[in-house]
């Protein structure tokens, strides 16, 4: 979140649009973790935005060099297992998504 932002859902909607050009609906927090509690006090929120569609051009900040690659959700576990997805905060976000798919609610996800 940028300085002054307090709502992870609003931030996620904005970031999705700016960094990918996609917009969706039913945005909500699935979970949150402490990014590195040994030295930091921030949280990393997992936000699900459903039914996304490409609606805009990119508005990336200086230094952002991103590529959007769409894959079926069913292929994600294999990408993690093959270490093609290795970032710990992305892996935990995918775990929050897995819990959501199984109907398991994360306690205190706000």
Q: Kindly report, residue by residue over 13-58, the tens digit of the pLDDT.
A: 999 999 999 999 999 999 999 999 999 999 999 999 999 999 998 7
**16 lies in some domain:** yes
Two tokens, residue 40: 């930091």
Confidence check: pLDDT of 65 > 90 = no
**28 lies in some domain:** yes
Query: Over the chain, what is the mean pLDDT?
Result: 92
pLDDT for res 109: 53
**75 lies in some domain:** yes
82 CB neighbour count, 10 Å cutoff: 9
Q: Assign residue 51 the CATH number of its domain.
A: 3.90.79.10
Range of the domain at 43: 8-101
**29 lies in some domain:** yes
- Helix (H), strand (E) at residue 89: helix 88-101
Through-space distance between the first and last CA atoms of the chain, rounded to whole angstroms: 15
Confidence check: pLDDT of 86 > 70 = yes
Handedness of CA 9, 14, 15, 16 (dihedral sign): positive
């Amino acid at each position: 979140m940028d300085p002054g932002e307090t709502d992870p859902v609003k931030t996620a909607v904005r970031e999705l649009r700016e960094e990918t050009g996609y917009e969706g609906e039913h945005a909500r927090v699935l979970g949150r973790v402490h990014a590195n509690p040994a030295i930091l006090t921030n949280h990393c929120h997992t936000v699900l935005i459903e039914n996304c569609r490409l609606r805009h051009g990119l508005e990336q900040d200086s230094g952002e060099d991103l590529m959007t690659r769409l894959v079926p959700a069913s292929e994600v576990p294999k990408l993690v297992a093959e270490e093609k997805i290795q970032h710990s905060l992305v892996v935990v976000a995918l775990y929050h998504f897995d819990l959501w798919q199984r109907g398991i609610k994360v306690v205190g996800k706000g």
